[in-house]
Structure 1
Amino acid sequence: MSSSHQQRLDAEFRAASRVTIIGMVLDALLGVLKCFGGWLFHSQALLVDGIHSFTDVISDLVVLAVMKLSRREPDSDHPYGHQRFETLGTMVLGSFLIAIGGALAWDNTWRMLSGMPLTVPGWPVLAIALVSVAGKEWIFRYTRRVGEHIRSDLIVANAWHSRTDAFSSIVVLVGAAGAMAGFPWLDAVAAIVIAVIIAHVGWQLAWNSVRELVDTGLSDEDTDLLRTAAADTEGVLNVHDLRSRRMGSDILVDVHLVVKPEISVSEGHQIGMQVIRRMRDTLPHIRLINFHIDAENDQRGTITTQQLPTRREIHGVFREGLPELDTVKHHLRLHYLGNQVHVELFTDAPDARLPSPEQITAKLGHPAWLGSLKVWQPGNVS
């Protein structure tokens, strides 16, 4: 990994740590205020909302630990980096929220169905809920801005977790106001709604993380954009087998590019480098692109197999069938196409008396693998 890339990761970790610690302190203060206020002023919804705030504290601790791990530079065990730790942390956080939301929803549903007396909340519940809405909306906007800037799905997810806390405080307002207006069951219903909100956010976080951990590819729209960028590159005849996956906030891509079979290896590589540039211009979050240069479209059924002879074996066949090659300086250029080998024989001696390609093919015994033969000599092409 380059030093500039590691410096970017370190800067991202510092920004993520700063906003997460600020949010954690706010969550802890609101959690204490809401739990104490819910217990003192008889609001089950506010009490559940306070528990929700404490889950934010736990999630903030998870975020800090995971961000530290995910921003470490690659090592021998993790050559592609540690960004998957961020995905794993998001899944753990989502699973935790599902469990908390389910437990709170069940507890308050049982409380309503059991016929337990429902109390009417006091007016300070409204004030505490308003403070919570204002505080959580502010930390949501701040955290989301930082998460989008450093391209961290985990930080953005944590921001939306804060937004759900603001939504749940609005539910507390409605429930408490309804209970004060003569509908005491509304406070219990509000507590259940908040619990469902917690579980729903947890499900979204966990499901998106599972999709990434099983290497779900980019959307069809993004894949088409990348395919078009590659296909429009000069020298590319066809694009196939384009695959992608995510690793944290980064995108990894593998692509096969069909080029003209007669071009050089270096030209094929240069075409691939141009494809990389165009793809990264299309989707800036791409970190790694592996391209494979194909001289033929191996999706059409006629695929060059491993059964064809190697360069050493072909050279041996030529030297055995054409002994005069030992007296001149020469080299072979091989093209493995259509399940055959097309050979170009180059010599540097203009006065070398070599047979015609047809005669050479006959001397070699008309091997089945030989597709065509060209002989190149200074001043003579056959």
Structure 2
Amino acid sequence: MSENTSSVHPRYHGLDKERDAATRVTVIGMILDAALGIIKCIVGALFHSQALIVDGIHSFTDVASDLVVIAVMKVSRQAPDENHPYGHQRIETIGTMVLGSILIAVGGALAWDNILRMLAGGVTEAPEWPVLAAAVVSVIGKEWIFRYTRHIGQLIRSDLIIANAWHSRTDAFSSVIVVLSTVGAMLGYIWLDALAAIIIAVIVGRIGWQFTWDSVRELVDTGLSPEDTSMLTDTAMKTEGVRNVHELRSRRMGHDILLDIHLQVRPEISVSEGHHIGMQVVEGMRKQLDNIRDINFHIDAENDEDAMPTSERLPTREEIRALLADYCDALPPQSRIRLHYLRNKVHIELMFELPFSDSAPRAADIEAALSDYAWFGSLRVWYSAPH
């Protein structure tokens, strides 16, 4: 028995608000990035700072990433539809990967250009004090937008918005490097400006690699950490009615977690009790990790990891009912049959709504007749007076 516990998750009721919040913080950041990029490139060109120019280009990559974020968030925050029953969060993952790839390319190009410039002895003039002022303004502005963007990203649980926040933080770090290198260059160590440009470019590329690698891991359905998997397994095992847990599989979709799990319960319980036990497991797991969106649980009557799974070739209910009708002349109209398919055997329970008498079907006779069948496991017969 398999169950999907949340085909429509409550989170989707707030998708419009999440999308609006993400768009608003991204537009604010984009305006700030554009202003800082223009200031840093102009000041760097006028006052001899290659590091500040690279830092300005870094700010313009923030503008490009902001445009990617706005476009992706518009699509990825749509509710599930017929073609995308799990939602559209993977589009956000692809957007994060594109953003990371852009950063790797920009960082690599800038680093290579400044390495050649440094080796060729192209650093001849020291930067001037406006470079220092522009870098300080950038540090303050980027640190503020980082904190604001990260807060919104955590609030709406968006890896893409959080990634964009950290991209802003790298711009603040790079501006700090510009401040330090400018002070050093003004004191006579002119080569520090080119070195700072290389360091900033490497930082940009490293952040891009981290974004890209995390996105690739998600797209190939990398599961939860061993620690989280063990925690969820323990939670299921502690649930009343669960005998064993196996095949706990997980994957991510954006910030959300999707789980599949097999729960072994006592074979004689009803379908509804098995479902109830599964729902208790779901509740316990969601208390451990609040970003679990869907949990598909399969109820097992036996541990199919330790033995060969029960064959689908065993007789069906109608086939067994036909056999029983032959040996009981005719099954009483109010009779009920309960079947247990365990260890490639069929264990039968017959419930007759009639008192036991000499004319009633006898368990020993039925069992003797069925014993020649290889699939037959056991038989129990119940008699009760009709209500």
- For the aligned pair, the TM-score class normalised by the smaller chain equals over 0.9
Trace 1:1-382 onto structure 2 (pairs within 5 A): 5-325=11-331, 327-350=332-355, 353-364=359-370, 366-378=372-384
Q: 1:217 to 1:34 in 2, by over 3 A?
A: same
How far apart, CA to CA, are the structure 2 residues paired with 1:362 and 1:198?
A: 79
How far apart, CA to CA, are the structure 1 residues paired with 2:113 and 2:318?
A: 76
- Aligned partner of residue 297 in structure 1, secondary structure: coil
- The Cα of 1:112 is off from its aligned counterpart by 1.3
- The Cα of 1:361 is off from its aligned counterpart by 2.4
Show CA shifts across 1:291-310 (max 9, x none): 11111111102321212111
1:240–1:255 CA contact under 8 A, matched in 2: yes
How far apart, CA to CA, are the structure 2 residues paired with 1:191 and 1:119?
A: 15
How far apart, CA to CA, are the structure 1 residues paired with 2:243 and 2:138?
A: 59
Show CA shifts across 1:98-153 (max 9, x none): 00000000111111122334321111100000000000001011111111111111
TM-score of the superposed pair, with normalisation by structure 2: 0.95
Q: How many residues align?
A: 379
Show CA shifts across 1:227-276 (max 9, x none): 11111111111111111111111111111111111100000001111111
- Aligned partner of residue 85 in structure 2, secondary structure: coil
How far apart, CA to CA, are the structure 2 residues paired with 1:304 and 1:171?
A: 66
C-alpha RMSD over aligned residues: 1.6
How far apart, CA to CA, are the structure 2 residues paired with 1:259 and 1:339?
A: 17
2:123–2:194 CA contact under 8 A, matched in 1: no
- The Cα of 1:7 is off from its aligned counterpart by 3.0
> Which range moved further: 360-369 or 163-172?
360-369
1:230–1:236 CA contact under 8 A, matched in 2: yes
How far apart, CA to CA, are the structure 2 residues paired with 1:126 and 1:194?
A: 16
- Aligned partner of residue 345 in structure 1, secondary structure: strand
1:251–1:286 CA contact under 8 A, matched in 2: yes
Which structure would you say has the larger RCO, counting Cα contacts within 8 Å and 6 or more residues apart?
2
- Aligned partner of residue 323 in structure 1, secondary structure: coil
How far apart, CA to CA, are the structure 2 residues paired with 1:366 and 1:358?
A: 14
How far apart, CA to CA, are the structure 2 residues paired with 1:95 and 1:279?
A: 35
Show CA shifts across 1:150-203 (max 9, x none): 111111111110000000001111111111111111100000000000000000
Letter of the 1:294 counterpart: D
The gaps in structure 2 that reach 5 residues or longer are 1-6
Identity %: 62
How far apart, CA to CA, are the structure 2 residues paired with 1:321 and 1:111?
A: 96
How far apart, CA to CA, are the structure 2 residues paired with 1:374 and 1:269?
A: 25
How far apart, CA to CA, are the structure 1 residues paired with 2:356 and 2:267?
A: 30
> Which range moved further: 115-124 or 154-163?
115-124
The gaps in structure 1 that reach 5 residues or longer are none
TM-score of the superposed pair, with normalisation by structure 1: 0.96
How far apart, CA to CA, are the structure 1 residues paired with 2:191 and 2:381?
A: 94
1:322–1:363 CA contact under 8 A, matched in 2: no
1:139–1:162 CA contact under 8 A, matched in 2: yes
- Aligned partner of residue 330 in structure 2, secondary structure: helix
Letter of the 1:159 counterpart: A
1:152–1:249 CA contact under 8 A, matched in 2: yes
Counterpart in 1 of 2:3? none
2:328–2:361 CA contact under 8 A, matched in 1: no
How far apart, CA to CA, are the structure 2 residues paired with 1:311 and 1:37?
A: 83
2:221–2:251 CA contact under 8 A, matched in 1: yes
Letter of the 1:207 counterpart: W
2:80–2:88 CA contact under 8 A, matched in 1: yes
- Aligned partner of residue 308 in structure 2, secondary structure: coil
